[in-house]
């Protein structure tokens, strides 16, 4: 009933106020930034690696116990050794010695903490190797592992850790070459981190796509009732994407240069709420014509979530302004690519009777995902539902392809109808 009144009255501030109450009243119980982290200290003859794996995701993916008894730790050690490897350029495996392993809560939710010593095989270079990492990423579509260098005796790392890349499902190998660092290498690494984050950030992408669903429509009487002219629609879309970009950038810059920091719990819940708001708006207009403002406000939060992940890892997204520019470029490249692929199909289909069920169905799915995220990120419950929904989201490319085919079919049918009408006049 609350959401129905919000939809009828179109008062966005009611939803935001409810979100604030929810944040204040619901403590976080689950791992709210579900990523692994590996921090490497490169020495003269070996590498010391601090491995941090979120305990909740580990338990869900493996079914293993997470106590600190001998059996639990042996299972965790065996899982890590089986699901990861460090390889020399000729394919030989590095020697890995686990110095310590424990389930512990140091800051935030509990994690599996492992300290390893990595030593290359005889004759293999220390500073060129490949990380083959399948820990959790194969089982959890939205999971990624972030790799950082905390210190390097031959290439000094500053006060903040240097991000060298990330792995996830279907891209589980990371080639590391510390032989000769350069500004171009640092920039490229930062771009790839931005690309990887936004590709796996289903909540980020769903928020933006839900805002785009009604972008070509005009609201009247609390409903979406008509179509905008094409030129105005394109301008409106450009303002939405630009506003979201500005929101991302402001908080990324603030986190990198101004050292802004917020606990991840409220940030992650607010992201889920932003998805819910944009999805409801796609069904019934909450703030018609103000989508760029919504994108800007919630873009600040989405950018802060990204920055918070790196702040918790002790990283600043590369090295200074160059790394920040690279991360932003990576995010916007993916964002713009998805908009360019998706929006043309939506614009074509918006003028057909098939679009309302497409729009409402997609928005309803986004509502379900947002509610599941909110519950999971505030109570730790519904982990199975979240995993199933995110697995479905990982196949969204097929849905976009189907929409594009449908749009192409509409265009061809319209062309044929026009040609037939034209031929009839001359008959």
Q: Report yes or no on 323 lying in a domain.
A: yes
Q: Domain check: are 69 and 13 in the same one?
A: no
Mean pLDDT of 258-282: 85
pLDDT reported for residue 317: 44
- pTM metric for this prediction: 0.63
The encoded tokens of residue 281 equal 């708006």
DSSP helix/strand/coil, 334: helix
- pLDDT for 399 beyond 90: no
CA gap 286, 290 in Å, rounded? 9
CA gap 331, 259 in Å, rounded? 20
**How far lies 296's CA from each of 32, 78, 274, 308, in Å?**
23, 46, 11, 18
The set of residues, in sequence order, having a beta carbon less than 8 Å from that of 183 and lying 6+ positions away, is 322
Q: Domain check: are 244 and 387 in the same one?
A: yes
The encoded tokens of residue 57 equal 């995701």
Q: Domain check: are 244 and 138 in the same one?
A: no
Q: Domain check: are 45 and 136 in the same one?
A: yes
- pLDDT for 93 beyond 50: yes
The set of residues, in sequence order, having a beta carbon less than 8 Å from that of 382 and lying 6+ positions away, is 372, 375, 376
Could you read off the pLDDT of 352-380 as tens digits, one per residue? 888 899 999 999 999 999 999 999 888 88
CA gap 222, 284 in Å, rounded? 6
- pLDDT for 59 beyond 70: yes
Bigger pLDDT: 259 vs 382: 382
pLDDT reported for residue 184: 67
Domain count within the chain: 2
**How far lies 290's CA from each of 121, 239, 243, 297, 321, in Å?**
60, 10, 11, 11, 32
Over pLDDT 90: what percentage of the chain? 32
What are the residues facing 380 on neighbouring strands? Answer: none
Q: Report yes or no on 105 lying in a domain.
A: yes
The encoded tokens of residue 226 equal 């008509």
Q: Which domain holds residue 288?
A: 2-29+196-395
Mean pLDDT of 241-260: 81
- pLDDT for 404 beyond 60: yes
Give the CATH number for residue 97.
2.60.40
Q: Report yes or no on 415 lying in a domain.
A: no
pLDDT reported for residue 309: 57
Q: Report yes or no on 337 lying in a domain.
A: yes
- pLDDT for 80 beyond 60: yes
Query: In the structure, how many helices (H) and strands (E) does the chain have?
Result: 13, 11
Q: For residue 166, which of 36, 54, 50, 55 has the smallest C-alpha distance?
A: 36
Q: Domain check: are 23 and 44 in the same one?
A: no
Ramachandran sector of residue 318 (left: φ over 0; alpha: ψ -120 to 50; beta: rest):
left
Confidence band, pLDDT 50/70/90 cuts, at residue 289: confident
Report the mean per-residue pLDDT for the chain: 81
Q: Domain check: are 123 and 45 in the same one?
A: yes
Q: Domain check: are 46 and 25 in the same one?
A: no
Q: Report yes or no on 404 lying in a domain.
A: no
What are the residues facing 47 on neighbouring strands? Answer: 42, 118
pLDDT reported for residue 417: 73
pLDDT reported for residue 1: 40
Q: Report yes or no on 414 lying in a domain.
A: no
Mean pLDDT of 239-255: 85
Q: Domain check: are 128 and 201 in the same one?
A: no
Q: Report yes or no on 308 lying in a domain.
A: yes
Q: Domain check: are 241 and 132 in the same one?
A: no
Q: Which of 155, 181, 207 is the last residue of a domain?
A: 181
What are the residues facing 256 on neighbouring strands? Answer: none
Q: Domain check: are 39 and 23 in the same one?
A: no
Q: Report yes or no on 408 lying in a domain.
A: no
Q: Domain check: are 288 and 241 in the same one?
A: yes
Q: Which of 181, 207, 236 is the last residue of a domain?
A: 181
Q: Domain check: are 7 and 53 in the same one?
A: no
Confidence band, pLDDT 50/70/90 cuts, at residue 413: confident
- Exposed, middle or buried: residue 313 (CB in 10 Å: 0-12, 13-18, 19+)? buried
Give first-to-last CA distance, the chain, whole Å.
59
pLDDT reported for residue 90: 94
Confidence band, pLDDT 50/70/90 cuts, at residue 407: confident
DSSP helix/strand/coil, 172: coil
């Amino acid at each position: 009933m609350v959401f129905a009144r919000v939809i009828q009255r179109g008062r966005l501030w009611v939803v935001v106020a409810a979100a604030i109450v929810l944040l204040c009243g619901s403590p976080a119980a689950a791992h709210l930034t579900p990523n692994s982290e590996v921090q490497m200290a490169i020495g003269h003859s070996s590498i010391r690696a601090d491995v941090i794996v979120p305990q909740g995701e580990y338990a869900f993916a493996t079914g293993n116990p997470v106590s600190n008894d001998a059996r639990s730790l042996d299972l965790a050690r065996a899982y890590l050794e089986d699901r990861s490897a460090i390889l020399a350029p000729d394919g030989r495996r590095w020697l890995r010695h686990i110095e310590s392993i424990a389930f512990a809560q140091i800051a935030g939710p509990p994690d599996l903490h492992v300290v390893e010593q990595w030593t290359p095989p005889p004759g293999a270079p220390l500073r060129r190797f490949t990380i083959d990492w399948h820990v959790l990423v194969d089982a959890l579509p939205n999971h990624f592992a972030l790799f950082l260098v905390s210190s390097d005796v031959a290439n000094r790392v500053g006060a903040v850790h240097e991000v060298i890349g990330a792995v996830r499902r279907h891209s589980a190998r990371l080639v590391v070459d510390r032989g000769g660092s350069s500004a171009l290498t640092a920039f490229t690494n930062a771009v790839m981190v931005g690309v990887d984050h936004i590709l796996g950030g289903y909540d980020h992408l769903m928020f933006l796509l839900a805002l785009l669903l009604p972008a070509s429509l005009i609201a009247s009487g609390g409903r979406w009732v008509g179509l905008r002219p094409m030129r105005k629609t394109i301008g409106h879309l450009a303002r939405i994407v630009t506003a979201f970009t500005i929101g991302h950038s402001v908080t990324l810059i603030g986190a990198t240069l101004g050292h802004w920091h917020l606990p991840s719990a409220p940030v992650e819940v607010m992201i889920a709420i932003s998805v819910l708001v944009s999805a409801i708006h796609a069904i019934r207009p909450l703030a018609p014509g103000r989508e760029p403002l919504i994108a800007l406000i919630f873009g600040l939060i989405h950018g802060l979530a990204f920055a918070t992940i790196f702040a918790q890892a002790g990283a600043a997204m590369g090295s200074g302004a160059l790394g920040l520019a690279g991360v932003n470029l990576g995010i916007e490249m993916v964002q713009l690519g998805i908009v360019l692929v998706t929006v043309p199909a939506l614009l074509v289909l918006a003028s057909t009777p098939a679009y309302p069920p497409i729009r409402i169905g997609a928005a309803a799915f986004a509502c379900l995902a947002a509610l599941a995220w909110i519950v999971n990120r505030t109570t730790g419950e519904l982990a199975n539902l979240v995993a199933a929904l995110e697995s479905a989201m990982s196949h969204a490319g097929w849905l976009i392809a189907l929409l594009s085919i449908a749009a192409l079919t509409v265009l061809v049918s319209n062309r044929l109808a026009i040609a037939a009408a034209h031929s009839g006049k001359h008959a």
